[in-house]
Amino acid sequence: TQLLEQSPQFLSIQEGENLTVYCNSSSVFSSLQWYRQEPGEGPVLLVTVVTGGEVKKLKRLTFQFGDARKDSSLHITAAQPGDTGLYLCAGATSGTYKYIFGTGTRLKVLA
Amino acid sequence: NAGVTQTPKFRILKIGQSMTLQCAQDMNHNYMYWYRQDPGMGLKLIYYSVGAGITDKGEVPNGYNVSRSTTEDFPLRLELAAPSQTSVYFCASSYPGAGDLGEQYFGPGTRLTVT
């Protein structure tokens, strides 16, 4: 059974701080996605990475896919209260038609 | 486009009752998924479909059934509801791209309580 572990599970920080969220597995993924979910809503896609070592930036968010395609990280620079939410990674292995979601990281940014 | 729609939004079931959660998408997506999300947790895949007439089990299929007779609709059936099925259920759809399964578009969810 594939398992995607995210750390930390919870994170509460002050506005302006930097943070990194990790997504780790023993499986090799053909693609990995990051989503953000706000209370009472479905997840919304932030980014998809498919190449080992790939780095993608989305404004203050930087996503990295590990060289071995077993792990990924999300770094937020100068966090803002609007970044508050549940961050989820989701990985798909080669030859499958489904994503397996990680355990989630709940982020709260205090003004 | 309405995107992915789910009905109902809320439902309370008694133990042993059955119900169908409806999901529809108007984006002509091949792939559709059903997930459940327990409080404070990530999403667990229940069933998925890669096209009309094709379905397959996910991580937690026990107690559920699905069908996919059209591209647009992917209903989830709960038979003999149990308290362990209390959760929020999300339906999603995607269109595969080059090298990945595509962005998943999620519905607003159905909050189900079994008592």
Instruction: Choose the weakest-confidence range: A20-34, B7-21, B41-55, B96-110.
Output: B96-110
Q: What is the pLDDT of residue A93?
A: 87
- Please give the pLDDT value at position A53: 96
Give the per-residue pLDDT at B100: 76
- pLDDT > 70 fraction of chain B, expressed in percent and rounded: 98
Please report which confidence band the pLDDT of residue B11 belongs to, taking 50, 70 and 90 as the band edges: very high
- Does the bond joining B8 to the residue before it have cis omega, within 30 degrees of 0? yes
Q: With b meaning 16 or more CB within 10 Å and e meaning fewer, what string describes B17-49?
A: eebebbbbbeeebbbbbbbbbeeebbbbbbbbb
Residue by residue, pLDDT tens for chain A (111 residues) are 558 999 999 999 999 999 999 999 999 999 999 999 998 899 999 999 999 999 999 999 999 999 999 999 999 999 999 999 999 999 998 888 889 999 999 999 999
Which residue in B has a C-alpha nearest to residue A93's C-alpha?
B100
CA B38 to centroid of chain Cα atoms:
14
| Cβ contact, residue pair B59, A100, below 8 Å | yes
pLDDT for position B32: 96
Q: Do A41 and B108 touch (CB under 8 A)?
A: yes
| Average of per-residue pLDDT across B92-111 | 87
Instruction: Inspect the interface and report whether the beta carbons of B107 and A42 lie closer than 8 Å.
Output: yes
Higher pLDDT, B23 or A1: B23
The confidence score (pLDDT) of residue A1 equals 55
Residue B41: pLDDT band with limits 50, 70, 90:
confident
Using CA atoms, how far apart are residues B50 and B58, in angstroms rounded to an integer? 13
Mean pLDDT confidence for B56-67: 96
B92 has a chain A CB within 8 A of its CB: yes
Number of A to B CB contacts under 8 A, please give it: 69
Q: Is A66 on the interface with B (CB under 8 A)?
A: no
What's the rounded Cα separation, in Å, for the pair B76 and A3?
A: 25
Quick one: average pLDDT of B25-54?
94
Q: Do A101 and B45 touch (CB under 8 A)?
A: yes
**What per-residue confidence (pLDDT) applies to A83?**
96
State which amino acid sits at residue B91.
C
Two structure tokens written together for B34: 């059903």
Indicate yes or no: CB of A42 within 8 angstroms of CB of B92.
yes
Contact residues, B window 36-75, toward A, CB-based 8 Å cutoff:
40-45, 48, 50, 56, 58-59
Q: Is the pLDDT of residue B7 over 60?
A: yes
